[in-house]
Structure 1
Amino acid sequence: MPPHHPDGELFPDRSITASKPLPRGRALRIGIGGPVGCGKTTLVGQLCRSLRDELSLVVVTNDIFTSEDAQALKAAAVLPEERIMAVETGCCPHTAIRDDIAANLDAVEQLEARHGPVDVTLVESGGDNLTAIFSSGLVDAQIFVLDTAGGDDVPRKGGPGVALADLLVINKVDLAPHVGSDVDRMYADAVERRSGGPVVLTSMVGDVAAGPVADWIRSLLAVRNAA
Structure 2
Amino acid sequence: MRPDRHDPDDEPTHSHTPPGRDTARLPRPPGRPLRIGLGGPVGSGKTALVAALCRSLAGEPQLAVVTNDIYTSEDADFLLRNGVLPAERVRAVETGCCPHTAIRDDISANLEAVEELERSLPPPDLILIESGGDNLTATFSHGPVHHQVFVIDVADGDKVPRKGGPGVTASDLLVINKTDLAGQVNADLSVMARDAEDRRGDRPVCFLSLVENPAADEVTAWVRDRLGGDR
Indicate whether 1:137 and 2:130 are aligned.
Answer: no
Indicate whether 1:50 and 2:73 are aligned.
Answer: no
| Secondary structure, aligned partner of 1:127 | coil
Which structure's residues are more often helix, by fraction?
Answer: 1
> Aligned partner of 1:50: which letter?
S
TM-score by length of 2: 0.87
The CA distance in 2 between the partners of 1:76 and 1:143, in whole Å, is 22
Larger RCO, structures 1/2 (Cα 8 Å, 6+ apart): 1
User: Contact 2:178–2:209 (CA<8 Å) still a contact in 1?
Assistant: yes
> Aligned partner of 2:116: which letter?
Q
Farther-moved stretch of structure 1 (19-28 vs 77-86): 19-28
Which residue of structure 1 aligns with residue 10 of structure 2? none
Shift of 1:109: 1.0
User: Contact 1:61–1:124 (CA<8 Å) still a contact in 2?
Assistant: yes
Indicate whether 1:197 and 2:199 are aligned.
Answer: no
> Aligned partner of 2:131: which letter?
S
Which residue of structure 1 aligns with residue 18 of structure 2? none
Indicate whether 1:179 and 2:185 are aligned.
Answer: yes
The CA distance in 2 between the partners of 1:19 and 1:192, in whole Å, is 22
User: Contact 2:55–2:215 (CA<8 Å) still a contact in 1?
Assistant: no
**Cα deviations by residue, 1:39-72 (Å, 9 ceiling, x for unpaired):** 0000000000000211110000000000000000
User: Contact 2:180–2:212 (CA<8 Å) still a contact in 1?
Assistant: no
> Aligned partner of 1:87: which letter?
V
Shift of 1:95: 0.3
Shift of 1:101: 0.3
Matches within 5 A, 1:1-227: 19-205=25-211, 208-224=214-230
**Runs of at least 5 residues in structure 1 that lack an aligned partner in the other structure:** 1-16
User: Contact 1:202–1:209 (CA<8 Å) still a contact in 2?
Assistant: no
| Secondary structure, aligned partner of 1:223 | coil
Shift of 1:223: 2.5
User: How many equivalent residue pairs?
Assistant: 209
The CA distance in 2 between the partners of 1:24 and 1:188, in whole Å, is 38
What's the % identity of the aligned pairs?
Answer: 61
| Secondary structure, aligned partner of 1:42 | helix
The CA distance in 2 between the partners of 1:107 and 1:20, in whole Å, is 19
